[in-house]
Amino acid sequence: MRMLDLIAKKRDNKELSKNEIEFIIKSYTNEEVPDYQMSAFLMSVYFNGMTDQESTDLALAMMHSGDVFDLSLIDGIKVDKHSTGGVGDKVTLVLGPLVASCGAKFAKMSGRGLGHTGGTLDKLESIPGYNIVLDEQSFIKQVNEIGVAVIGQSKNITPADKKMYALRDVTGTVRSIPLIASSIMSKKLASGADAICLDVKVGNGAFMSDIEEAKKLAELMVNIGKLAGRKVKAILTNMDEPLGFSVGNSLEVIEAIETLKGNGPKDLETVVLEVGSYLIEDAGIATKDAAMTLLKEKLDNGEAFNKLIELVSAQGGDISFIKDVSKFKKASRIIPLIADKEGFIESMTTIDIGLAAAYLGAGRETVDGQIDPAVGIVFKKKIGDRVMVGDVILEIHANDKGIEDAFNTLKEAIHIGSKKNDVTLIEGVIV
């Protein structure tokens, strides 16, 4: 087999076989295929697409390029979720303890965040002592004992995907649905869960801003999962405004804690319950409707919050911060953004809200960049809320970095007008 022939085959819009795709991935991972040939292949996929079977074979080939976790020693059905990323997305922090309190086995391996805020791991590390590094044996033991673990991904998970993504980033081939879907699913499949719920964000604060494109991505990822023998469902959730009220690492952890106590923002709770009900159903614990009732009970009776304490304790975190959120380090300055006219919050440019958080130091520009866990933004008003002149729309939690840039960006990102608009939170479900 020659890479040149396979590039030409995909250039001519012909379907590649499983063996041909495995050859491409193995050869590129082993540096037997140069970047310029892989770039040509990626561009051919970008223009011609892939069948569902090709996308599945690509995901599986990338999955087998590195470590694949065998979670068969964990009792019962293992569940996981994935989000395509959004501003204020702290769903995992609530979801993991909540579904575990219902009896599900939530085995989650996360990556670090690049961009406007930290990822799940960065948020958890704002809890002093929380250890994101567990070996496979300890990970399995913890999930068996308390039903939940959230750790960092192995450095050797899907190395082919890491190389290919870096190349896509500099060759204009990132926005290809087959390549996006196979990239995401290769990591999810390598993590070993039996049932996965995908939270695909759509809107002006999401990677996919167009609903039809988001549906295509969700449908393909679900099909890849099913063809690979997993239970996979997807929900499409709106990202035309931040999820919840808080954006930033410690601030989002505090909001997640309040949600687990039953006092969280309704939009965050809605997404958590929707994802959670599918995972509980696929774990064989209850039907979707009964699962929804069960999840709400665990929020109300304190069992979900207690499960968070178990999780943090098991991974070395200081549980006193969970019990008393005032212990989290605070930003040195809180700067309000004041409404200068009367009306309703008509819309937000959510991607710019994320950018403002990054200016403050809530995110990182490079993999080894430093995050300030205390900084961020807390909203007092969201889309559809009425504001009067002088009302506080949001508060900027800042230390010394990026205050002017963040303030000016946020001022332009909030749009006040005469219309009372509503946000449809759940845009669709793919099963």
> Catalytic pick from 80, 89, 122, 161?
161
pLDDT at 239: 96
Q: What is the pLDDT of residues 226-269, one digit of tens each?
A: 999 999 999 999 999 999 999 999 999 999 999 999 999 999 99
Distance CA 286, CA 200 (A): 24
Mean pLDDT of 335-339: 98
57 is catalytic: no
Q: Which of 168, 201, 230, 364 is catalytic?
A: 168
CA 237 to centroid of chain Cα atoms: 12
Residue 10: active-site member: no
Is the confidence at residue 366, as pLDDT, over 90?
no
CATH 1.20.970.10 segments of the chain = 3-49
Q: pLDDT at position 113, please?
A: 60
Phi, psi of 154 (to 5 degrees): -60, 145
Q: What is the mean pLDDT of residues 358-380?
A: 88
CATH for 3-49 is 1.20.970.10
Our answer to whether residue 168 is catalytic in this structure is yes
Neighbours of 1 (CB within 10 A): 11
Q: Rounded distance, CA 400 to CA 394, Å?
A: 19
429: β partners: 235
- Selecting among 55, 83, 101, 183, the annotated active-site residue is 183
Q: What pLDDT, on the 0 to 100 scale, is given for residue 118?
A: 74
Would you call 397 a catalytic residue per the annotation? no
Predicted confidence (pLDDT) at residue 114 exceeds the cutoff of 60:
no
Instruction: Check 82, 108, 298, 382 and give the catalytic one.
Output: 82
Q: What are phi and psi of 251, to 5 degrees?
A: -60, -40
Lowest mean pLDDT among 27-36, 111-120, 200-209, 285-294: 111-120
Backbone angles phi, psi at 305, to 5 degrees: -65, -40
For helices 18-29 and 3-11, give the axis angle rounded to 10 degrees: 130
Over residues 167-224, the pLDDT tens digits come to: 998 999 998 999 999 999 999 999 999 999 999 999 999 888 999 999 999 999 999 9
Looking at residue 367, its pLDDT comes to 64
Every domain of the chain with CATH number 3.90.1170.30 lies at 330-417
pLDDT of the residue at 313:
98
How far, in Å, CA of 103 to CA of 83, rounded? 22
Supply the mean pLDDT for the chain: 95
What is 78-323's CATH topology?
Answer: Pyrimidine Nucleoside Phosphorylase; Chain A, domain 2 (3.40.1030)
- pLDDT at residue 306, rounded to an integer: 98
What share of the chain has pLDDT > 70, as a percent? 98
Share of the chain above pLDDT 90, in %: 92
Three-class secondary structure of residue 195 per DSSP: strand
pLDDT attached to residue 116: 63
Mean pLDDT of all residues in 155-174: 92
What CATH number belongs to 330-417?
3.90.1170.30
Domain with CATH 3.40.1030.10 in the chain: 78-323
> CB atoms < 10 A from the CB of 419, how many?
10
d(CA 180, CA 93): 24
pLDDT in tens, 29-66: 999 999 999 999 999 999 999 999 999 999 999 999 99
Q: What does the angle CA 343 – CA 89 – CA 272 come to, to the nearest 5 degrees?
A: 100
Position 17 confidence tier, pLDDT thresholds 50, 70, 90: very high
| CA dist list (Å): 73 to 132, 137, 139, 163 | 21, 9, 11, 31
The pLDDT value recorded for residue 377 is 98
Q: What is the sign of the dihedral through the CA atoms of 403, 257, 206 and 44?
A: positive
What count of Cα atoms within 13 Å lies in the side-chain half-sphere of residue 135? 1
Residue 161 is among the residues annotated as catalytic for this protein: yes
